[in-house]
Amino acid sequence: MGHADGSNGGGPRPTVDRVRLKRSFARRIPAQPRLSAPGAPTTLTPAQAEARAIYKELVEINTADSVGSVTRAAEAMAARFRAAGFPASDIHVVGPANAPAKHNLVVRYRGRGRGKPILLLAHLDVVQALRADWPNDPFELREENGYFLGRGVADDKSMAAMFTANLLRYKAEGWVPERDLILALTADEEGGSQNGVSWLIANHRDLIDAEYAINEGGGGTLQGDEPLFHSIQAAEKVYTDFTLTVRNTGGHSSVPRKDNAIYSLANALQRIQQHTFPVELNDVTRPFFEQTAKVEMPSLAAAMRALVANPRDTTAARLVSMDPRYASMLRTTCVATMLSGGHAPNALPQTATANVNCRIVPTSKTSEVKALLERVVNDTAVVITTTSRDRTDGAPGPIHPTVLAATVQLTNRLFKGVPVIPMMSTGATDGYRLRNAGIPTYGVSGIFSMTGETNAHGRDEKLRVKSFYDGLTFLYELVRLVAGPNPSGPVS
């Protein structure tokens, strides 16, 4: 099996430092989520109470693809904005006519018109959650041991609730920003055929056009219960599925042949498993590793700095790649996720297929990865196809200086001044679609958690109660800072 740097074995035996590094990772990334979290407030402010009520309403509306309704959640939030006095002309529940459960909410909060709007984006859809798999109803907001629990509490109804609550609060306070704010709560970010952001770009670009967007994808990392760093997502890898297909004439299983479709596919998948893509740093991941080195253990910090200086440093790449999170940020990754083959237990297989899911770095293209997979597989019997096109959003750019300065200012005040670090998501958000349409998008939330703690997409998805209210405050003040009336000054 190949090593993290792409070599084929024969490397040095693990040193004491590397063994210590492995043990440290095991301690830092618990196998199971914590059972309790400190810091939840015992008494809520009026703003916190309203945000919690909105959060509860959103979580308890099933918005999973095919069985739920994003439209129902969008209408529920629209009703709140109407009741608060927002003009009907600034509240839009829109979506494709052939998908009545997949409509999006777009609300405009009017400012003084001095500059392009700022878009606040959160998705309302969630990954399906089967009641039989959960100890409690997944579509019921529960608060236990310092956590909120329920499908979508972390991904992404927390930010949807925060943005909604904060806009209603701005309205009640009479605050008028320098520029308009646009809230978009959307469908099908998690999957489905009617992605809300793509549909809005294609059909109502005027409703969401903005100088830049604030989205999910970033946030804070805790070490234990203490902030370690605060990240701003400024780039992301692109989700791409490849289908590997092998076809054969088949035949009777009593007369085996060498040209077996399942064996050919299995050999192809093993070659992909053994291949490690090269390190590809960019203008987001390079400063990420530079800044993260300031808070990491000395041996790992040294490897990060060495890799930034020389991406071909195989020893440094091997050390950094010992943490799966960092390994995925270094390079494109591809992994087999689905498998099917054969038609009868007593027949040679006529067809075998597999899905290989790749997360492609911004400096590479789908067509390039497809060509590389074909070279790695090196078997003309294996046909590799994809429906994905090459990305067109270009290389990652720098974070907008106003967003960066405001995030640093608030992090210094609210989160003990931990480093603010640009970050590339290894997963996917709708930020990619906005960037592709020319709207720079930054994932920043003020929501802190330990690595893997939220179990988003999994059973008993959770979010710290303290983190929810911290994020509420952070986003309230962040939007006020970046939207004015004094974009570079303190919050009044």
pLDDT above 60: residue 301: yes
Look at residue 293 in the predicted model and tell me its pLDDT. Answer: 95
Question: Which string of b and e fits 375-391 if b means at least 16 CB within 10 Å?
Answer: ebbeeeebebebebeeb
Query: Domain-by-domain residue ranges, the chain?
Result: 16-32+238-385, 46-217+429-483
Has residue 492 got a pLDDT over 70? no
- pLDDT tens for residues 333-384? 999 999 999 999 999 999 999 999 999 999 999 999 999 999 999 999 999 9
CA 197/CA 215 separation, integer angstroms: 12
Three-class DSSP labels, 9-43: CCCCCCCHHHHHHHHHHHHHCCCCCCCCCCCCCCC
**CA 215, CA 195: separation in Å to the nearest integer?**
16
- Predicted local distance difference test score (pLDDT) of residue 325: 86
Percent of the chain with pLDDT over 90: 86
Helix, strand, coil fractions of the chain, as percent rounded to 5: 35, 20, 45
Burial 258-295 (b: 16+ CB within 10 A, else e): eebbbbbbbbbbebbeeebbebebbbbbbbbbbbbbee
Check if the beta carbon of residue 196 is closer than 8 Å to that of residue 189.
yes
Cβ atoms of 66 and 174 within 8 Å: the answer is: no
Q: How far, in Å, CA of 28 to CA of 70, rounded?
A: 36
143 strand-pairing partners? 148
Helices and strands in the chain, H and E counts? 15, 19
Of 14-18, 255-259, 412-416, 438-442, minimum mean pLDDT range:
14-18
Q: Using one digit for the tens of pLDDT, what is the confidence trace for 429-471?
A: 999 999 999 999 999 999 999 988 999 999 999 999 999 999 9
How far apart CA 49 and CA 350 sit, in angstroms, is: 61
DSSP string covering 302-328, please? HHHHHHHH-TT-HHHHHHHTTSHHHHH
pLDDT of the residue at 9? 36
Q: pTM to 2 decimals?
A: 0.86
Strands (E), 405-458: 420-425, 441-443, 448-449
Across the chain, mean pLDDT equals 91
Task: Return the CATH class of domain 46-217+429-483.
Answer: alpha beta
The pLDDT of residue 317 is 97
Ramachandran quadrant class, 476 (left: phi over 0; alpha: psi -120 to 50; beta: rest)? alpha
* Residue 12, pLDDT score: 36
Q: Which residue type sits at 17?
A: D
Q: In this structure, which amino acid lies at residue 230?
A: H
- The predicted structure's pLDDT at residue 442: 97
> Which 8-state DSSP code applies to residue 364?
S
Domain 16-32+238-385 sits in CATH at 3.30.70.360
Please list, residue by residue across 347-368, b when 16 or more beta carbons sit within 10 angstroms of its beta carbon and e when fewer do.
ebbbbbbbebebbbbbbbbbee
User: How far apart are the C-alpha atoms of 303 and 309, rounded to whole Å?
Assistant: 10
Instruction: Check residue 338 and give its pLDDT.
Output: 98
Residue with tokens 């996720």: 337
Q: pLDDT of 197-223, one tens digit each?
A: 999 999 999 999 999 999 999 999 999
Confidence of residue 2 (pLDDT cuts 50, 70, 90): very low
- State yes or no: pLDDT of 103 exceeds 50: yes
Residue in the structure block whose two tokens are 């019921």: 140
Task: Tell me the per-residue pLDDT of 227-283, one tens digit each, with 9 for 90 and over.
Answer: 999 999 999 998 999 999 999 999 999 999 999 999 999 999 999 999 999 999 999
Contact yes or no for 189/125 (Cβ under 8 A): yes
